[in-house]
Structure 1
């Protein structure tokens, strides 16, 4: 009887010992597992900061930029020119009116222009000047708006076009009435020829002063680098 009464206490004591051991051992095991990760993080974070500083070096950017192929700038006569016409930096954006990634790129450029960044932007469309190409009506309309004395009109039209969640030419065009002159349609053909010459394979394609933007950079990366040009 006495042995029976002692047995439960013996079992409880053993469980307590096991639980106590786990409580002490678990933090040690976690630390041993986490320590290599933490040490790597301590090494990686300074390295990442150094790489960022290296990336945002104006000297490195200029070297990578000028290592890219250089192309003649699209002519002012058949491209849309926005911003400071005397700016030292000219950004060429090749765009497709129905290209979703072009929306973000246009938004960045539009913000820069709104904030008086000392840049000039030239816009070229990838349209075939063909009635069967859905890009053609938009490109022709934009180029007609570009003929107006007030460049703010075509700038607003571009912003509103790319701001549409669902691109609808007819609805958009009602807000920007303009006479379409068929004798000016050659400008779309000039843009297509230039895109072929510049080996444009996708949109958006960006060039800085005629040099293709290096793949190591996104447009948003170079705002302050351009200021150091």
Structure 2
């Protein structure tokens, strides 16, 4: 079943908060608790949308803002998360395009005490742009139209192109699982307009064995594609009459298949597929067009049959090969989805984290975030380590989202006995900047270094009075790393436990909420 998040999108839209819907629906599927409320809240947080899930008794509903989300009892007392707006003394529950007006007493009777609030954050993800896709589609349409009208033939004849184009679009929509269009809101609304309609149930049905090999959607896509390409070929060759003679034969022959489709939907699956019915309507419109406007005698040459048969067979083999590729891609995506859910499961991560012995880390002057926090992430890094830049970016991202709940300790690993004078000066300067100019200045200076990695340019911006006051700390930290065999950077520790090597460092942000709540 596809989760519908329209209620969430409506709430965010009202609050003037932009969200990349595709990115949200992609990320939430990776959450180990998908499709739970926790998965929704965590995904919003991951996308930098400030939110707060609270428990609130029904007696305090009036204290809520004008717009909020809350769990309300539906039929059979099943709780459902809904978007609610306050209008005077009334409450409006909005579900898609349907609204339900409730009084204070009615909402209290359905209240489940869990509320979700969002607010516009300073760092906000914007809507994804599909401009490139639209430009490509528009360019193709303009080019095709120019080519089409450059060919011989009447406008009435060329308008036939609309039917196979519509048919291909409906066929692709019917195969939405393969073409990854199952999250399209308009398409889902069309397919599930009533309780007796379901495109997925009909298209995915294999109650007849033949559908395990080929189904109506495959047939329709091959049929309309061969029509489209065949029409182009015959237009270029100037034999439109021959093309329409073949189409009349093919369309008349397809009537039993269409009736079989209607029978299967009505009596076998007991569900109607609106897209399938639209495809059937397009074919009957084609048949009507051919009979009315292209009423030719059934005089057909073997050459015309061979040409169209070649086009049809080529489309069949091309589609079968392409379908295998799409199925393989879909399986890989589903496998990746399961693997990432497993990888982001906090309980499994915690077991891996605690599998090693806790270590007593050396002290560091550089402490970022909430210095009173019990959740401490330690990063052992080196300014001259190429891999350390990525780890610092991850840590900065965590700090930006969880500054008040987490403490980041940074250890700059350097060997003063072997390090160059410029290298020593860089490390001393970074420590000086942190101690005397603060957290933000340190992060800016460190970011500037990793972005340029040019000592001369960096010193032009950040050179300070040289001091040896940090050398004892550098020596102690380096000695600790040697004694405990932490010879490579970066190394990350969570509350004194080394970050498991089997986990990619980029996954660390996904565990932060649980780490903050957990005590170990």
Instruction: Please give the residue correspondences for 1:35-50 in structure 2 after superposition, counting only pairs within 5 Å.
Output: 35-50=323-338
Instruction: Please state how far the C-alpha of 1:89 moved relative to its aligned partner.
Output: 2.0
CA distance in 1, matches of 2:419, 2:447: 25
Instruction: Please give the residue correspondences for 1:60-209 in structure 2 after superposition, counting only pairs within 5 Å.
Output: 60-76=348-364, 79-117=365-403, 118-130=405-417, 132-133=419-420, 134-148=422-436, 150-163=438-451, 165-168=452-455, 170-209=456-495
1:86/1:32 CA distance change after superposition, 3 Å? same
CA distance in 2, matches of 1:39, 1:182: 63
Q: Taking structure 2 as the reference length, what is the TM-score of the superposition?
A: 0.37
Aligned to 2:79: none
CA distance in 1, matches of 2:513, 2:425: 36
Instruction: Please state how far the C-alpha of 1:179 moved relative to its aligned partner.
Output: 3.5
Note the aligned Cα RMSD (angstroms).
2.7
Q: Is 1:95–1:205's contact at 8 Å kept on the other side of the alignment?
A: yes
Q: Is 1:93–1:121's contact at 8 Å kept on the other side of the alignment?
A: yes
Aligned to 1:5: none
Aligned to 1:9: none
The yes-or-no answer on 1:217 pairing with 2:503 is yes
CA distance in 1, matches of 2:356, 2:326: 39
Q: Deviations over 1:35-78 (max 9, x none)?
A: 443333443333322222222111111111112453222213xx
1:184/1:54 CA distance change after superposition, 3 Å? closer
1:21/1:223 CA distance change after superposition, 3 Å? same
What SS does structure 1 have at the residue aligned with 2:387?
helix
Q: Is 1:73–1:209's contact at 8 Å kept on the other side of the alignment?
A: no
How many residues in Structure 1 have an aligned counterpart in Structure 2?
213
Aligned to 2:347: 59
Q: Is 2:425–2:466's contact at 8 Å kept on the other side of the alignment?
A: no
Instruction: Please state how far the C-alpha of 1:97 moved relative to its aligned partner.
Output: 1.0
Aligned to 2:179: none
CA distance in 2, matches of 1:64, 1:33: 42
Instruction: Please state how far the C-alpha of 1:216 moved relative to its aligned partner.
Output: 3.6
Q: Is 2:369–2:408's contact at 8 Å kept on the other side of the alignment?
A: yes
Q: Deviations over 1:105-144 (max 9, x none)?
A: 2123223323443221111223111365353221122223
Q: Is 2:343–2:349's contact at 8 Å kept on the other side of the alignment?
A: yes
Structure 2: runs of 5 or more not aligned = 1-300, 516-520
CA distance in 2, matches of 1:174, 1:33: 60
1:107/1:39 CA distance change after superposition, 3 Å? closer
CA distance in 1, matches of 2:418, 2:331: 59
Q: Taking structure 1 as the reference length, what is the TM-score of the superposition?
A: 0.78
1:25/1:184 CA distance change after superposition, 3 Å? closer
Larger RCO, structures 1/2 (Cα 8 Å, 6+ apart)? 1
Structure 1: runs of 5 or more not aligned = 1-12
CA distance in 2, matches of 1:132, 1:42: 51
